[in-house]
Amino acid sequence: MSSDARQAGIKPGLTPLRIIVGLILVLGIIVTVLRFTTGLAGVTNLDHSNPWGLWIGFDLLCGVALAAGGFVTSAAVYIFGLKKYRSAVRPAILTGFLGYALVVVALGYDVGIPWRLPYPFFVQAGPTSFLFEVALCVALYLTVLFLEFSPAALEWLGYSRLRNLIVKLTLVLTIFGVILSTMHQSSLGGLYLIAPSKLHPLWYTAYLPVLFFVSSIVAGLSMVILESTLSAKYFNRVLDKSHQQEQDILPLGFAKAAALILLAYFFLQVISLALDNDWGYLTSGYGLWYCLELSVFVLLPCFLYAVGYREKNLRIIRFTSVLAVIGIVVNRFNVSLVAFNWHLPLSERYFPSWMEVVISIFLVTLGILAFRFIVTRMPVLFEHPEYRDSH
C-alpha cells in the first residue's frame, strides 16, 4: 500500500462494500460490451416514440445540474469575494469536472453512433440548434473545469511554473465558467420547448430555461453541502485544519442562499402556472404529483434551510441538502420521463431496462472512485505546504 493511501487511512483487504463495488464494475463492463456490440436495441427499451430515456434524464439532465457546484462556489469566492468559502472551491470544482466528464461518457452510450459525437463542431454545425449550443457549452465548460482543477494536480506533480500561470487566470476562468453554465443549464430546459405536444402542460412552460437555471443553482449549493459533509465523514484524516474549521461555516451560508433561491423558484413556478392558465390540471393525477413536487421538494427544503440557518442547526441543513438533491432528480425525471409522452397509454410508455440502470450506477461508481482516488492524494481537501494562501 502506498504512503498516500496510508495517510488517507485506506485499509487493505476485502470488505462487503468493496465486493459490491467490484460486482458493479464487472457488470458495468459486461453491459458496456453488449451496448457497443449489439447496439441500443440490445440493452435499452428506447424506440422512435421514446428516443430519450434514463441516460438523458439521469446521466445528462441530473448530472449537469448536480455538477453546478463548481460554478456556484467559484463565483461566490472569486467574483463575490466570499473568501471564507475558499476551502470548498477545489472539492466543488473536482465534483463538477468529474460530473461533466461522466456526462460526456454517458452521451457516448446514448448516441447511436458515438464516434460521430464531434460532428457538430467539425463537420456539420447547427448554430441555431439547442443541442448544438448545449454541446458547445458543455465541451467548453469541461475544458474550463479541467483548467480550474489543474493547479491541484500540478501541485501534486511539482510543476510550479505552470501551476502559477494557471492560477493567474482564475478570475477569467471563473467568469467564463459562469457564462457557459448559465447558457447550457438553461438550454437543457429549452430543449423541451420543442416538444409542446409531448410534455405535460404543468411542466411545459416558456419559463423552462429559467427554471432549469435557477434550480441548478440550488442543486449546486446543496451538492456542495452534501459533498462537504461526506468528505468530513469519510476523508477526515485528509482534511487540514483550515478545511476542518470551515466545515461548520459553509453549510450556514449556503443554506441561507439556497432558501432564498428556492423561494424565488417557487414563485417562478406559480407565475408560469398562472400565465399559462393551467390551474385546471391541478385536480388530475399529474396535478397531484406536480403539487407534491412543489410542496415536498421545493417549499419544504426552503423552509428547512431557513430554519437550519436561523437556528444554526447543521443537522437540519445537511438533511435538507439530501432532500434538495433528491428534489432536483425528481424534477428532471418529471420533465424528461414521467410527464413526457404523457398522452400515451401505459403499455406504450418508456420504462428503462435493467441494463440501462446498471450503466447509470456503473458511471456513478466510477465518479465516486475517481473522486476518492484524487482527494486522498492531491491537495483538494488540504493545502499543499508550499502553496498555502497562494490560490
Average predicted confidence (pLDDT) for the chain: 90
Report which residue type is found at 146. Answer: F
Give bridge partners of residue 199 from the DSSP assignment.
Answer: 340
CA pair distance 351, 45, nearest whole angstrom: 7
CA pair distance 255, 222, nearest whole angstrom: 8
Nearest to 303 by CA among 315, 295, 291, 314: 295
Answer whether 367's CB lies under 8 Å from 99's CB. Answer: yes
- Is 246 in a helix, a strand, or coil? coil
pLDDT digit string (tens) for 364-390?
A: 999 999 999 999 999 998 888 777 665
Instruction: Tell me what pLDDT residue 3 has.
Output: 44
The larger pLDDT score, comparing residue 179 to residue 128, is at 179
CA pair distance 219, 324, nearest whole angstrom: 7
Cα separation of the two ends of the chain: 31
Instruction: Tell me what pLDDT residue 218 has.
Output: 97
CA pair distance 268, 254, nearest whole angstrom: 21
Answer whether 72's CB lies under 8 Å from 220's CB. Answer: yes
CA pair distance 182, 189, nearest whole angstrom: 11
Q: Given pLDDT bands bounded at 50, 70 and 90, which one contains residue 93?
A: very high
- In degrees and rounded to multiples of 5, residue 238 shows phi and psi of -85, -30
Instruction: Tell me what pLDDT residue 207 has.
Output: 93
Nearest to 170 by CA among 86, 263, 100: 86
pLDDT digit string (tens) for 8-20?
A: 455 667 888 899 9
Q: Is the pLDDT of residue 75 over 90?
A: yes
Instruction: Tell me what pLDDT residue 147 has.
Output: 95
pLDDT digit string (tens) for 97-114?
A: 999 999 999 999 998 888
**pTM, full prediction:** 0.91
pLDDT digit string (tens) for 217-270?
A: 999 999 999 999 998 888 888 887 777 777 778 999 999 999 999 999 999 999
Q: Is the pLDDT of residue 171 over 80?
A: yes
